[in-house]
Amino acid sequence: EPEVTQTPSHQVTQMGQEVILHCVPISNHLYFYWYRQILGQKVEFLVSFYNNEISEKSEIFDDQFSVERPDGSNFTLKIRSTKLEDSAMYFCASSENPSMSYEQYFGPGTRLTVT
């Protein structure tokens, strides 16, 4: 069964550095998402992406964040200048269709640690 993949599984970076988290969505999916989960807290929506543009974003997704689909398979999340509070598990997800009842398939996550 096709799966969403994410790399790396764990990223350690210093405060102020840029990081790029990588995701390969399921190949026939058209809608892509990033979520994050700070340790001990809820899974929080960051951004959704369709047709090469952001369709929705949360308050968390400020100017430090950006997303890109650089080729036909990858979907990346960039954090320009990381802060300590960006330490979290970042999940990528994809779905065939954004309308209700279509399942979002999640990747295994990238654990980002900012020191």
Partner 1 sequence: AQRVTQPEKLLSVFKGAPVELKCNYSYSGSPELFWYVQYSRQRLQLLLRHISRESIKGFTADLNKGETSFHLKKPFAQEEDSAMYYCALDNAGNMLTFGGGTRLMVKP
x-marked contacts with partner 1 along 26-55 as a string, rule CB under 8 A? -----x-x-x-----xxxxx--x------x
In the chain, the largest separation of any two C-alpha atoms, in whole Å, equals 40
What token pair was written down for 60? 């968390």
Question: Do 110 and 21 meet the contact criterion of CB atoms below 8 Å apart?
Answer: yes
For residues 87 and 16, give the distance between their C-alpha atoms in angstroms, rounded to a whole number.
12
Q: Is position 97 an interface residue for partner 1 (rule: CB under 8 A)?
A: yes
Among 29, 36, 88, 107, binds partner 1 (CB under 8 A): 107
Q: Is position 81 an interface residue for partner 1 (rule: CB under 8 A)?
A: no
Beta pairing, strands 53-57 & 43-50: antiparallel
Q: Binding-site residue total for partner 1 (CB under 8 A)?
A: 28
What is the contact surface with partner 1 in residues (CB under 8 A)? 3-4, 31, 33, 35, 41-45, 48, 55-56, 58, 91, 95, 97-104, 106-109
